[in-house]
A = this chain, B = another copy of it.
Amino acid sequence: MKKAVILYSGGLDSTTCMAIARDNGFEPYALSFSYGQRHSVELEKAREYAPLVGAKEHMVVDIDLRQMGGSALTSEIEVPKDGADQTQIPITYVPARNTIFLSFALGWAEVLGAQDIYIGVNAVDYSGYPDCRPEFIAAFQAMADLATRAGVEGNPYKIQAPLINLTKAQIIERGLALGVDYRYTHSCYDPAEDGRACGHCDSCLLRLKGFADAGSSDPVAYV
């Protein structure tokens, strides 16, 4: 079986991506990051869920983005609630995050002999993050072939972003059709101590609307 590296947060999008990679015939190697998230519950859930949603291996790379500052997700800036201004890049944006994550995925892919990297970015519900757009993915792929031994030797990389043109509802419908159990996913930016989702952050609002639009209900617990 061909291997693929999946950028995996334990969330709804990356879990759906993993199911799509498996459906495309790949053995998924899940890659997560401990990057100074405000709530380590995200990472605990990713470790717990990775084998349950089909990862062959799960690697967690420790990188401390907190010392760089600049984002509500990794610093003490307050997470916005109940409808951020969607016309601007939000303060939950982490500088160069997907660039950094894809770079590690590229390194691991080269070591594994994998040519495919899956990333669950989405240009519809993308919250204004510049590194979630198709033009960014295309530019990263072009760079990857020049950056690596495999690329130079004629084995091009493919950065697979299968969710990029789907709405959240379409992502959920695709996942349900592939048998994804969304109990084993976690999306909230600001969960309670016991791990339940807040229901009010951007990520919860998008997720709840997605399930509603898909005519389904979200199996995770909310406060």
Contacts and interface: CB of A to CB of B under 8 A. Distances in A.
A22 B68 CA distance: 22
A70 B111 contact: yes
A47 interface: no
Interface residues of A, number: 43
A222 interface: no
A149 B136 contact: no
Interface in A124-140: 130-131, 133, 135-136, 139-140
Interface string A100-116: 10111011101100000
Contacts of A162: none
B135 A146 contact: yes
Given A131-B147, A146-B139, A149-B93, A67 B63 contact: no
A149 to B, nearest CB: 5
B130 A136 contact: no
Interface in A179-195: none
Nearest to A67: B59
A104 B102 CA distance: 12
A56 B99 CA distance: 26
Contacts of A59: 67-68
A100 to B, nearest CB: 4
Interface in A142-182: 142-144, 146-149, 151-152
